[in-house]
Structure 1
Amino acid sequence: MSIANLNRPADAFEQLETEDGVRQGVCHIRIQQRTGRKTITTVQGIGTEYDLKRIVQYLKKKHSCNGTIVEHPEYGEVIQLTGDQRDKVKDFLIKVGIVNESNCRVHGF
């Protein structure tokens, strides 16, 4: 085994570990166009240790929108909110401490 292999991380996701050693994935916040001017915001990648129902309930009340949790075969549980709520959701998730700012990606036009 060479010295170059010792410095390389053994796991590709090792760089996403937080200071306390718990792995945190990347949270994706996307906007999807529906019919006409209607849009929905989707949030994917929130850890399973968080209660998504309570998060959706808070976001619905705070931002006066409708929302639900959808089970996706590839991405797991995905939060859907009506309207363009990308910036508001990102600010909330970072403020509460659910995701780090470096692990939160906002997609869309």
Structure 2
Amino acid sequence: MDLDALSGFKDPIAALDEEDADKAAAAEEQDARAKAEIVHIRVQQRNGRKCITTVQGLNQDLDLKRILKVIKKQHCCNGTVVDADAEGKNMGEVLQLQGDQRANVNKFLVDNELHPADKIKIHGHG
């Protein structure tokens, strides 16, 4: 009996487990990408009547500074690009605008085809 022939034996059940693990990993990656594709527009109350609008989840390939510059000029407000990774939140870069600019940002993103309307989530009351 040849012992070398036995050493090449593969467990068929273990192979199925590996395939399932690969499929599960691919599904998790796709879910993460789907969540990452959603843009969240929120308004946060500051002190008194002051509030800021944050835009999170935009594609990092976009030039966020140019987008911010256009929105600021169109809607007469100030704003900045904040790197939320530096704060340990792992959210990428976030746009912050003065005032409640949720409707304006939503309209801008849809009109300029930067993001589909069904993938934009607007939070807060208004």
TM category (shorter chain) comes to: 0.7 to 0.9
Identical counterparts, % of pairs: 45
Moved over 6 A (4+): none
TM-score (norm 2): 0.69
Aligned match of 1:31: 43
SS class of match (1:36): coil
Aligned match of 2:63: 51
Aligned match of 2:7: none
Gaps in structure 2 of 5+ consecutive residues:
1-15
More helix by share: 2
SS class of match (1:11): helix
SS class of match (1:48): coil
Aligned match of 1:94: 110
Aligned match of 2:123: 107
RMSD in angstroms over aligned alpha carbons? Answer: 2.2
State the 1:102 CA deviation.
1.0
C-alpha separation in 1, matches of 2:69 and 2:98:
13
TM-superposition CA deviations, 1:49-79 (whole Å, max 9, x none): 1100000000000000000000112211000
Q: Who wins on radius of gyration, i.e. which is larger?
A: 2
Gaps in structure 1 of 5+ consecutive residues:
18-23
Counting matched residue pairs gives: 98
C-alpha separation in 1, matches of 2:113 and 2:61:
13
More strand by share: 1
Bigger relative contact order, structure 1 or 2, given CA contacts below 8 A and separation 6+?
Answer: 1
Is 1:11 matched with 2:27? Answer: yes
TM-score (norm 1): 0.80
